[in-house]
Chain A
Amino acid sequence: MCPLPLLISDTTLHTDMEKKYWKGVEELRNDAEFVRLKNNEFFEHIPVDEVIGRKAESADATPRRDFLKFLGFGMAAATLAACEAPVKKALPYVVKPEEITPGIPNYYASTFSDGHDYASILVKTREGRPIKIDGNEMSSISKGATHARVQASVLGLYDNNRLRGPKAAGKDTDWATADKEIKAKLEAAVAKNGKIRILTATVVSPSTKALFAEFAAKYPGTEVVTYDAVSFSGTLKANEQSFGKAALPTYRFDNADVIVSVGADFLSNWINPTEHARQYAANRKLFGKKTMSRHYQFEATLSVTGSNADHRYKVKPGQYGSVVAALYNKVASLAGATSISAGNTSVDDGISKAARDLWNSKGRSVVVCGSNDPAVQVLINGINTLLGNYGSTVNIDMHSNLRQGSDEKMAALVAEMASGAVDVLFMYNVNPAYTYPDAAAFKAALKKVGTSVSFAGTEDESASEANYICPDHHYLESWNDAEPVKGMFSLGQPVIRPLFKTRQMQDSLIQWAGLPYQDYLTFIQGNWNKSMYGMQTAISSYDAFWTKSLQEGVFETAPAAGTTVFAGDVAAAASSIVKSKTDGLELVIYEKTGIGNGNQANNPWLQELPDPVSKVCWDNYFAMSPAFAKAQGFSQGNVIEVKAGNKTVKGPVYLQPGVADQTIAIAIGYGRTKAGKAADNIGVNAYELASMVNGTIHYYNTGITINKTVDEDHVLAATQTHHTMMGRAIVKETNLDKWLKDPKSGNPDVMLETYKGKKKATEMDLWATEKNPGHDKPNHFWGMSIDLNSCIGCGSCVVACQVENNVPVVGKDEINRSREMHWIRIDRYYTSDTTKESAEKDGLGKIDMLAKMEDPSENPEVVFQPMLCQHCNHAPCETVCPVAATTHSSEGLNMMAYNRCVGTRYCANNCPYKVRRYNWFKYSDNTQFDFNMNDDLGKMVLNPDVVVRSRGVMEKCSMCVQRIQYGKLEAKKAGRRPKDGEINTACAQSCPTNAITFGDYNDPASRLSAEAKDARAYHVLEELNVQPSIYYQTKVRNKDTGTKA
């Protein structure tokens, strides 16, 4: 503090000042009394002594009562003071970065590529923090679509489990030491002509590959081994045989009128599901067109793709080869080609129909298969060749780079490691100690490696076994590039400074190899200057080219189309197909939409994303058909022991209709042990159950036995426990042939009987009269249209909404209590064998009918229905709230004032759609809910535009009101009305199939207004006349009904 010059006496000041204002006449007079009081701050007498009873004190009597009073006051005051909220620091920028304006988001184009999934993305940052991933519309691969796993990946940045810096032998170290030691090891390895191996997941980055090459040049003896957790090794081999190119083709499902998939879950997990989903939906939509694709699916377990098929056949995984061979023969006979040796299958009827339709649409059809048996894939290539699909729906010329792993090379590496021949092993983007089917062998081999270095960002199963962990940046902190498809490049840029002392893998390699680049960015720029810049002619300056590519996130070229010559030997392939006995028990291994291969398993959003089909979260399980389970004496939750060879995996039974008989299915990605608090010990590791056949990993196993254990039943937490629609018209559907004849087919008006005859349900109204026709919506009238034909049930919207709206994660126990908080959910219904019509025919009474309707069919048809707040214009929730906490806006939105809510839950009870979500607990800063909202790092992902709700209040979909307000303000600043499509909700934006259209009913030119008028448009539960703002479009299947569609 400054010294006290203010102590200069008053008189000196008086003389210096020109004017003097007196406090009063007393001062002017300066009389004795004034002088006496002047130095006393409080002129008036303050009865302090009287109040605190000093009189009593002076009288030397103990003021007992007063003492107790003060004691009480003191205690209370101290208690209250202790209750006070801790000081929270809010610091403004001292020097504000130019591009950051508080409250205004910035978007950066980047690339998500984790060796498994790929997406070109836009990253939304607020105040320098990335908080949301959106799809990049500029990319012709992603086309703005994202997958749930991509949406959720932003949370990985704020994972508290991330390593803060490098580690050596399990202890923290610093980069300088680690660099010195690793460099020494490398040099030593080179000195003795040793082996250096880089074990990596598929690398789609051309610069990284170039860097590997330079590294290898510096350290001879370096070899790169590519290994994918989910292997396509057999397919790559088949394509090498067929086309001389060990690469996966790209597909154009939008060009296909007939799609046949044998065990390929191409909408949810197979190669690049987001791309496929967008294409697939394009040819399923019926706006302004009258055709759609027909989709046949032959598969072992009910996948997302199979759920969307028009015809679905149950096939054991070991029979995929036989089905493909039979299909080849049928198509060959239609094409007049020679047939191959193939037996009968249980689904010959379906194969014939599929072959007929394929042939009728030759050149506009596609056949795909999820098998990893090279022989089967050769036949698939043969079928697509017979059908002339290469060049139109299948393109091996512009191949995909998304899977490059070789199982044989991996096996060879493990053997090499086990022999002690590997001196230095780098592990990048892989976790074989968890994902390798023979993980024990890998771990044992790893111990024999001279020096092992992992680049994992967290101390995962493999990294924890390595000598060094040199943690890589999160992808949102990294520079990178990608070439997911030949000639299609994209760039990844950091959107935040590294949070921890991590270092990008590529920078580490540059450092260790002493390469002459400042950093990896310089390397990428050099590489792009050298390679990509020359691929275009439009921009004549490299800097401009780089800037544009970075800004747009993508640089795409159109390589000249080559001719595809099929050189596969189908006859040889047919004879070498791996076939199983038709009557044995088989196990199929699949991927879940949320967890994928398990690399993001520690992401609580993904753990809580229900499986699109089973609706179970936070677990994997042995799925089997109810009939099979019954025959085995299993019931849901029973723990069974599955033996495959020398491995035993214990897990719970889940009754899943649609699973092939004598087949059990289990998902990979679970059973992690060192992923972090969200994933550890959730489910069981199913990678172990995969089989190795002729050098490739097969995701099924025919040599298994199952036994019930005496273990206590396992609780499987699901967000939906009732599976059928009970004969109610909640999801309306029809078939294409019927729809072509009558666009209102499947969607008749809902009529109610009245004394004046039949009337439309919406004509009757308690509230609106001629004088008062309802509430005005003079400016905007927001709403949605959801196309049930496009929705594939993937759940991308669920995660996107969770990210956008700070929806809490509640964990398995709470899900099991039916308390998930998702604002948007996807209802999944199976058909039942019992329908109103069949009951009438069978003479079933109503009670029996309803009881039987609860059971799904053994091979049910499936429908998905995104369900969110319907923003009813006669909202039942609004009238019952005692405190008017939920009200209607003049723009048609049903709003929640969290601060006003007293938490009676009456609104939720009265909501016929059951979309309201209640804060049963405080979900943030609560150790009971130890997810991202319970640590400071995880909370950085929260959207500052959306409030975090407190305990005891109701919440629900707001139709992203924060986005609406933002869009309206932007338009207002520009002096115009918002344009259609300019404002979008998180769910609609993230939807890979564009199933959700958000818009303004008051804008007659909006896409929403057009869709609302479609004959397929309907309101769910229209008969209640709650007048929702959300239209659904009837689902139209394209089943073969014998009539020409």
Chain B
Amino acid sequence: MHYESELREPLILGDKGYHEITEDVCRPIEGKANKYWWAAFTLASMALLWWIISVSYTLGTGLGVWGLNKTVGWAWDITNFVWWVGIGHAGTLISAILLLFRQKWRLSINRSAEAMTIFAVICAASFIVSHMGRPWVAYWPLPLPNQFGSLWVNFNSPLVWDVFAISTYFSVSLVFWYTGLIPDFAVVRDRAKTKGAKFWYTILSFGWTGTAKNWQRFEEVSLVLAGLSTPLVLSVHSVVSMDFATSLVPGWHTTIFPPYFVAGAIFSGFAMVQTLLIITRKVLNLENYITIYHIDMMNRIILITGSIVGVAYITEFFIAWYSGVEYEQYAFINRATGPYWWAYWSMMTCNVITPQLFWSAKLRTSLFATFFISIFVNIGMWFERFVIIVTSLHRDYVPSSWTMYSPTWVEVGIFIGSLGLFFVPFLLFTRFFPVIAMSELKTIVKSSSSQAKKKGAHHHEH
């Protein structure tokens, strides 16, 4: 009996040949920016300007220009920090874990997801520095040899672990991303028509010649970096969660935090990837590369991680009750029914209810629904961090110090400005860097013959 396995759906559509892929990916770099790009870039630059003004004002005057107080020592600053770090997670997950699991569909999206990671971590780091009272000594938490006597950092402090986690994460992600870019830069270099482009892409491509040896080393380095990155996906947000988990603030002091934070980070990261790619594929005409299939796959991940996050929320409540600890119980009752109930219920609605809509295949494959739900998830995950940080702190042990927190225009400015800090480099990235890993993508194109194409066409008829 002859059995022929069913041919898989192609991961990219439009019967693309190698040259077409190159043309498609290089088009944004070689052509002129359209008006949408300019509109977005103008908006992002304005936000960045606002960020610069707000941060400068903070640095010049003191953290008093924020709304923090004696009881609530962290609020929007660390909320934003965790939010951005979380967003960064999708990039690493896609490039490292999906690589190890040989999920080829990642190839259309990994480049931009990784770029998102880099820029998100920069945003996160900006909050670490700006939330310090004396940012001019921001290097002190690094274990550097110094002239201050025998002063060393406090290795017990989760903030020091954070410094290591974030800096490692940033450097590995950057190297991984850049390594992937090298062959693509070489392509751009080779096609460059202007002297300037030639010059810059020559430098960026590190003298890539495309020899077999080049490719062999490229593959090896990619694999090694994927191996390095994989534990980072789990460790970075685990460490971030320990900023809270190792404290004794009711609502923070929770052993569930590491897995819960990692799930939340992936959840929010994919939501952000969806938000960005749904726009990018449209603006840069990449619908054939970033297909509904990709959107669907990512929505499934959002559904799974969203459910994990939902279970974590409920578990926290259960454990608060089960522990019998008065303070812990109060912290959770206060979250849901206290003065910040609206933040809690925003979080629950956005993070627990909306992703469940993705059980419907129709919604999962709808660009419109995906875009809106991804925005909801982004908002919900911001509120999650706000709820954890502010509602736990504002009413902890001693009721005499209970108080409220509300942000000032400066904090709002820094947050909205940080979106500019993110989008300005991201938009530049879409103009100057190949947004799809074209060299790698070519490995999944059915290259052999018209036969394969025909088969594909045949298959489609069914």
Chain A residues close to B by CB (< 8 Å): 720-722, 724-728, 730, 753, 814, 817-820, 825, 827-829, 846-847, 850-851, 865, 867, 876, 879-884, 900-906, 908-910, 912-914, 916-922, 950-954, 1020-1021, 1024, 1026
Contact = CB atoms under 8 A, between A and B. Distances in A.
A877 to B, nearest CB: 10
Given A720-B400, A880-B247, A820 B70 contact: yes
A739 B396 CA distance: 30
A919 B70 contact: no
A727 B64 CA distance: 33
21 contacts: A728-B399, A730-B399, A817-B67, A846-B329, A846-B333, A847-B337, A876-B247, A879-B246, A883-B151, A884-B152, A900-B140, A901-B134, A902-B140, A903-B63, A904-B159, A906-B157, A906-B243, A910-B247, A918-B133, A919-B133, A920-B64
A951 B163 contact: no
A775 to B, nearest CB: 14
B126 to A, nearest CB: 15
A814 B398 contact: no
B141 interface: yes
A910 B249 contact: yes
B427 interface: no
B312 interface: no
B399 A952 contact: no
B346 to A, nearest CB: 19
Nearest to B77: A905
B448 interface: no
Nearest to A818: B69
B240 interface: no
B79 to A, nearest CB: 13
A920 B131 CA distance: 11
B401 interface: yes
A827 B400 CA distance: 6
Contacts of B134: 901-903, 950-953
B69 A725 contact: no
Nearest to A879: B156
Contacts of A819: 64, 69-70
Contacts, number: 173
Contacts of A753: 324
A715 to B, nearest CB: 13
Given A882-B154, A902-B137, A905-B74, 10 more contacts: A721-B403, A722-B395, A728-B399, A819-B64, A884-B152, A902-B140, A906-B157, A909-B393, A910-B247, A914-B398
Contact of B64 (A814, A829, A953): A814
Interface of B: 61-64, 67-71, 73-74, 131-134, 137-138, 140-141, 148, 151-154, 156-160, 163, 243, 246-249, 324, 326-327, 329-330, 333-334, 337, 393, 395-404
A909 B133 contact: no
B246 A880 contact: yes
Nearest to A906: B159
Nearest to B62: A921
A919 B140 CA distance: 19
A720 B62 CA distance: 24
A910 B404 CA distance: 17
A1025 to B, nearest CB: 10
A180 B340 CA distance: 71
A909 B74 contact: yes
Contacts of B399: 722, 724-726, 728, 730, 829
Contacts of A847: 333, 337
Nearest to B138: A902
A952 B59 CA distance: 10
B337 A905 contact: no
Nearest to B397: A912
B398 A827 contact: yes
A578 to B, nearest CB: 40
Contacts of A722: 395, 399-403
Contacts of A1020: 398
Given A721-B403, A850-B333, A884-B151, A906 B64 contact: no
Nearest to A913: B398
A151 B4 CA distance: 96
Nearest to A821: B70
A801 to B, nearest CB: 16
Contacts of B157: 879-882, 906
Contacts of A903: 63, 132-134
Contacts of A881: 154, 157, 159
A953 B156 contact: no
Contacts of B133: 901-905, 918-919, 951-954
Nearest to A865: B400
> Which among A819, A867, A904 has the greatest number of chain B C-beta atoms within 10 A?
A904
B337 A818 contact: no
Nearest to A922: B62
Contacts of B141: 882-883, 902
Give 4 closest A-B pairs by Cβ, nearest first: A903-B133, A952-B133, A920-B64, A905-B73
A660 to B, nearest CB: 26
A99 B327 CA distance: 56
A577 B200 CA distance: 99
B244 to A, nearest CB: 9
Contacts of A905: 68, 73-74, 131, 133
A730 B398 contact: yes
A312 B374 CA distance: 60
Contacts of A818: 69-71, 403
Contact of B248 (A828, A846, A865, A876): A876
A84 to B, nearest CB: 17
A724 B157 CA distance: 34
Contacts of B401: 720, 722, 914
A880 B398 contact: no
Contacts of A880: 156-159, 246-247
A884 B154 contact: yes
Nearest to A917: B70
Contact of B61 (A883, A884, A921, A1021): A921
A908 B73 contact: yes
Contact of A904 (B71, B132, B393, B402): B132
B371 to A, nearest CB: 36
A814 B133 CA distance: 17
Contacts of B333: 846-847, 850
B104 to A, nearest CB: 42
Contacts of B247: 876, 880, 906, 909-910
A6 B246 CA distance: 74
Nearest to A817: B69
A788 to B, nearest CB: 14
A858 B137 CA distance: 52
A1026 to B, nearest CB: 8
Contacts of A902: 132-134, 137-138, 140-141
Contacts of B148: 900
B398 A882 contact: no
A824 B35 CA distance: 61
A867 B395 CA distance: 17
Nearest to B63: A920
Given A902-B141, A919-B133, A728 B326 contact: yes
A762 to B, nearest CB: 15
B355 to A, nearest CB: 27
Given A879-B154, A904-B132, A952-B63, A850 B137 contact: no
A900 B151 contact: yes
Contact of B70 (A904, A914, A1021): A914
A828 to B, nearest CB: 7
Nearest to A851: B337
A899 to B, nearest CB: 9
A819 B63 CA distance: 12
Contacts of B402: 721-722
Contacts of A827: 398, 400
A730 B327 CA distance: 12
Given A901-B133, A912-B248, A906 B73 contact: yes
Contacts of B334: 850
